[in-house]
Amino acid sequence: MFLHLSTWWQGKNLWWMLAKSGLLMGLWLTASTAQVTPDNTLGTDVQTVGGVHTITGGMAHGENLFHSFLYFSFGAGNVAHFMGTGLENIIARVTGGDASMIDGLLQSDATLFLLNPSGIVFGPNATLDIKGSFHGSTADVLRFADGNEFAADINETSTFSVAAPSAFKFTATRPASITIEGSRLVVRQGETLSLVGGEIDITGGNLQASRGQINLASMASDGDVEFDGAGIDIDSSTALGRISIQDRSELSVSGEGAGRVVIRGGQVTMRQSSIQAVTIGAQDGQGIDMLGETVILEAASINSSTFGSGSGGHVEVRADNLLLTQGASISSSTFGGGSGGHVEVQATNLTLTQGAFVASNSFGGGPGGRVEVRADNVMLTRGASLSSNTNSEDGGRVEVWAGTLTLDESAFIRSDTFGSGAGGEIQLHAEMLRLRGGALIGSTTFGEGHGGTITITAQAVELDNATLTSATTMGGGHAGAITLNVRHLTAANQSTITSSSDQGATGAAGTVRIQGIAGDGSAAGVVMLHESTLRTETAGEGDGGTITVTTHILELDHATLTSATTGEGHAGAITLNVGRLTATNQSMINSSSTQGATGNAGTVHIQGIAGDGSVAEAVILRESTLRTETAGTGTGGEIMVTAETIELDHATLTGETTGAGNAGAITLKVNRLTAANQSIITSSSTQDATGHAGTIRIQGLAGEGSTADTLSLVNSSITTQADQADGGDIVIQAKRILLREQSEIRSEALGGEGAVGGDISLEADLVVLSASNVIANAPGASGAHVNVAGILVADSDSMIQASGGVSITGQLFDLSGVVQRQIAFLGESELLSQRCANSSPGSAVSRFALVGRDGLPLAPGSVWLSDLSTGGHSNAPHEASPPSQDSTVPAFLPVALAHECD
């Protein structure tokens, strides 16, 4: 006997509690008698024969037929059949106060609306056979398109409308629940299945509306739920209730053209369940639309895909708080010719964790759909991801708009292409972007299609043991560019930003660009790299990508900026447009062509933030290296620095070749250059290299022909060297060239006959050597001249040496203009303790100058003198005299200069 509900339980919500606990299962199995009982208000008639309840009568208005029941429940093996011909809608209400328990077959000859404000429960044997759609609701009133209302309470006034139903109206503040307990509820193709009530629980259930629509709406207060062919709509002021979909439940609208799923709830929870909208034919899918205050997907999936020529439907999930965990997914894929649908996620707080993902994939002939995420706070952690993958057609774009976007614990955002299709773009917009703990943002092409670009626009970007990467592997597709539009960028703890073209690939690596938040032409505020790497490289035929950084402040701390080629392609250029560059703690800026490579190393260009040869404020290297090198047949890259000030402290600027390619030239356009503590500026051809050393030029900010203000070397050197090939020239144009404490300017070519030694040219108002050397050495080779234009001041511990000869052109100067002290001027007779040496016709003459040592002037007796005898001398005027004729000084001759002797 099927027990009368009001006898056993008081309170309609107890049905849901029993269903959840499993106790209700026993009732389904033991029930033998149904209660399909009219309440005698609308002329409803029920005839029961062998468990089949045939329902006729009712009140008809136009194409609408109205029924009213006191109780409406039946068990397994029972059938409730609503009869009627020529009808559009059959509308049934239950007025007795007990929930409807349905565990058999529910049949209707037209679209069926079932209203029971006390609750509806579908058991494990419940099925549908509806010639139309099915709408089950615990609403109090059904409203029609003409505004008339049909109330479930017989004490309320009802109007029997001929119009189509248009809304469920809830007057109770706590609407009754709807429970699906292991049921399989299926409507015919193209029809709609709606469950609209209070809390909705689907446990182990299967709801299907192929090519049709499934609507779930949960209310937690009074309000209206409007519906039409496009879905349902609830006023934003209405409180929404809980929806639970769990235990391998499935909602499916898949078919020739996938239908639509619409879900509206307060807290929506899916556990080990799925929503499927799969298109298998030529018709386009309609998609999935979920809205909740809190949405939790735990080991659950929401999927809109296409295997046919029809496009996949879009997926839209909106929530205040959205959590995907334990491999949960929201995805859109195309496996056929149709386009993939877009995936759009909107939330205040979005968290993906434990391998959860949001993805758009194109593995067929159609392009992939877009993945779009908009949230105030986005957290991806523990392997979670956003991704777009494609094969033969273009991949969909991955786009994120966030206040704060955080990737942690190996989370990633990827766009990959495996065939001829181009990879989808990755576009990230955030106030703050944080990548930590092995997180990755990457774009890779494994085929002929070009990789997708990565563009990040953010106020601040922080990388901590994280990776930004764009790569091409075995195919001809080019790797995508990486662009960061930022105000502040910090990379630390082995973070990398890299673009590469791998061995065997013919496609080029992508460019890497860091600039201001306004994009092209703007400058970032601060870019800081700490124990991190910014790199482009090529190992195949394709060229390496360029690196361009435009920022007011660039700070490198044990960091690396590098472009390299190990193959046929050329390494990319490195361009740093900066206000101020500081590199410390063994940082390196490097462009290289490695052994076996035929491609050229890239240039390294450091200049002002405006680019195009503009002037940086300062370039400071401390215990760091600026380098271009080639070990193959490709040429080394040129180093060009344009800055008001260049400061080197135990630092190295070098262009080097160890192969057949020539070393790169070094050009420094500067106002003031200081090098101290064993700093080195060098261009070299070493070991068995046949490539020539490059030229070193130091000049003024206007370039060739202009002069720097000051070049100061303290225990530092400027050199070119060639062990087998030609040496490089050294050309310095500055007002003052100051060498102190074992500093050196040296050009050396050791290749012997046939080699050409590099020349040294010093063009200055004043050249001062204090315990320092200028040497041009090329034994058995041509070249290796030293040319000095200006006043040369050298102490006895200094030396000028040139195997090709030394040429000095100078002029007298007023000593008071050199000594920077408040002292009385002394005439030459007071300065000289010896007479000028007698000179024979045609012999060289010398000059005297006052050289400071440790901040104090030398005593006259300490000046190194020539071994010529002295004769008379004449008083030299204090003002400068006309330039003297060129003089050739024998090699290895230390020089002390002042006025010209008669």
- Map residue 247 onto helix, strand or coil: coil
Tokens in use for 54? 């045939």
Task: Name, in order, each residue with C-beta under 8 angstroms of 637's C-beta and a sequence gap of 6 or more.
Answer: 571, 573, 591, 600, 601, 602, 603, 604, 628, 655, 664
Of 596 and 27, the structure prediction assigns the larger pLDDT to 596
CA distance 70 to 73: 10
pLDDT at position 473 is: 65
- Least trusted range by pLDDT, from 98-112, 492-506, 591-605: 591-605
Of 11 and 621, the structure prediction assigns the larger pLDDT to 621
Predicted confidence (pLDDT) at residue 296 exceeds the cutoff of 50: yes
Question: To which H or E segment does residue 864 belong?
Answer: none
Tokens in use for 466? 């994280």
Q: What are the angstrom distances between the C-alpha of 17 and each of 12, 94, 166, 177, 682?
A: 10, 21, 31, 10, 83
The string of DSSP codes covering 33-74 is --EEEE-SSS-EEEEEETTEEEEEE-EEETTEEEEEEEEEEB
- Least trusted range by pLDDT, from 544-558, 703-717, 835-849: 835-849
- Least trusted range by pLDDT, from 166-170, 596-600, 831-835: 831-835
Of 22 and 181, the structure prediction assigns the larger pLDDT to 181
> Average pLDDT of 496-515?
83
> Average pLDDT of 145-158?
95
pLDDT at position 689 is: 66
Predicted confidence (pLDDT) at residue 655 exceeds the cutoff of 60: yes
- Least trusted range by pLDDT, from 425-439, 445-459, 694-708: 445-459
Q: Tell me what percent of the chain is helix, strand and coil, each rounded to the nearest 5.
A: 5, 50, 45
Tokens in use for 227? 């519906």
Burial 612-626 (b: 16+ CB within 10 A, else e): eeebbeebbbbbbbb
Task: Name, in order, each residue with C-beta under 8 angstroms of 812's C-beta and a sequence gap of 6 or more.
Answer: 791, 847, 876, 877, 880, 881, 898, 899, 900
Predicted confidence (pLDDT) at residue 163 exceeds the cutoff of 70: yes
What angle, rounded to 10 degrees, do the helices at 14-21 and 23-30 form?
100
- Least trusted range by pLDDT, from 250-264, 414-428, 638-652, 809-823: 809-823
Q: Say if residues 570 and 600 touch (Cβ distance below 8 Å).
A: yes
Confidence bin at 20 (pLDDT 50/70/90): very low
DSSP bridge pairs for 899? none
- Phi then psi for residue 60, to 5 deg, are -100, 135
The string of DSSP codes covering 490-520 is EEESS-EEEEEE-TT--SPPPPEEEE-TT-T
Percent of the chain with pLDDT over 90: 59
CA distance 155 to 137: 19
> Average pLDDT of 475-491?
89
Confidence bin at 325 (pLDDT 50/70/90): very high
Residue 620 φ/ψ region, left for φ over 0, alpha for ψ in the -120 to 50 degree band, beta for the rest? beta
Number of other CB atoms surrounding residue 496 within 10 Å = 17
Predicted confidence (pLDDT) at residue 738 exceeds the cutoff of 50: yes
Confidence bin at 380 (pLDDT 50/70/90): very high
Of 439 and 418, the structure prediction assigns the larger pLDDT to 439
Predicted confidence (pLDDT) at residue 852 exceeds the cutoff of 90: no
Predicted confidence (pLDDT) at residue 901 exceeds the cutoff of 70: no
Confidence bin at 272 (pLDDT 50/70/90): very high
Give the neighbor-by-neighbor strand order of the sheet with 223-228.
149-151, 141-144, 165-170, 223-228, 231-234
CA distance 106 to 130: 7
- Least trusted range by pLDDT, from 90-99, 133-142, 593-602, 757-766: 593-602
Mean pLDDT of the chain: 84
* Nearest alpha carbon to residue 484 among 521, 524, 452, 451: 524
CA distance 559 to 561: 7
Residue with tokens 């050396």: 748
pLDDT at position 789 is: 93
CA distance 445 to 473: 6
Of 467 and 872, the structure prediction assigns the larger pLDDT to 467
Task: Name, in order, each residue with C-beta under 8 angstroms of 619's C-beta and a sequence gap of 6 or more.
Answer: 578, 580, 581, 606, 641, 643, 645, 646, 647
Confidence bin at 571 (pLDDT 50/70/90): confident
Predicted confidence (pLDDT) at residue 801 exceeds the cutoff of 80: yes
DSSP bridge pairs for 645? 618, 672
* Nearest alpha carbon to residue 469 among 528, 509, 429, 411: 509
pLDDT at position 443 is: 85
Tokens in use for 654? 């070098």
pLDDT at position 744 is: 96
- Map residue 23 onto helix, strand or coil: helix
Topology given in CATH for the domain delimited by 5-252: Pectate Lyase C-like (2.160.20)
The 3 state secondary structure assigned to 154-184 is CCCCCCCCCCCEEEEEECCCCCCCEEEECCE
DSSP bridge pairs for 627? 590, 654
pLDDT at position 450 is: 80
pTM of this prediction? 0.85
Predicted confidence (pLDDT) at residue 39 exceeds the cutoff of 80: yes
DSSP bridge pairs for 88? none
What is the pairing mode between strands 856-857 and 852-853? antiparallel
Predicted confidence (pLDDT) at residue 251 exceeds the cutoff of 70: yes
Percent of the chain with pLDDT over 70: 85
Confidence bin at 856 (pLDDT 50/70/90): very low
CA distance 751 to 780: 8
Burial 66-81 (b: 16+ CB within 10 A, else e): bbbbbbbbbbbebbbb
Residue with tokens 């509308």: 91
Residue 624 φ/ψ region, left for φ over 0, alpha for ψ in the -120 to 50 degree band, beta for the rest? beta
> Average pLDDT of 847-867?
37
CA distance 900 to 192: 109
CA distance 213 to 438: 42
* Nearest alpha carbon to residue 214 among 286, 299, 145, 141: 286
Give the neighbor-by-neighbor strand order of the sheet with 44-49.
44-49, 52-57, 79-82, 105-108, 127-130
Predicted confidence (pLDDT) at residue 855 exceeds the cutoff of 70: no
Number of other CB atoms surrounding residue 888 within 10 Å = 10
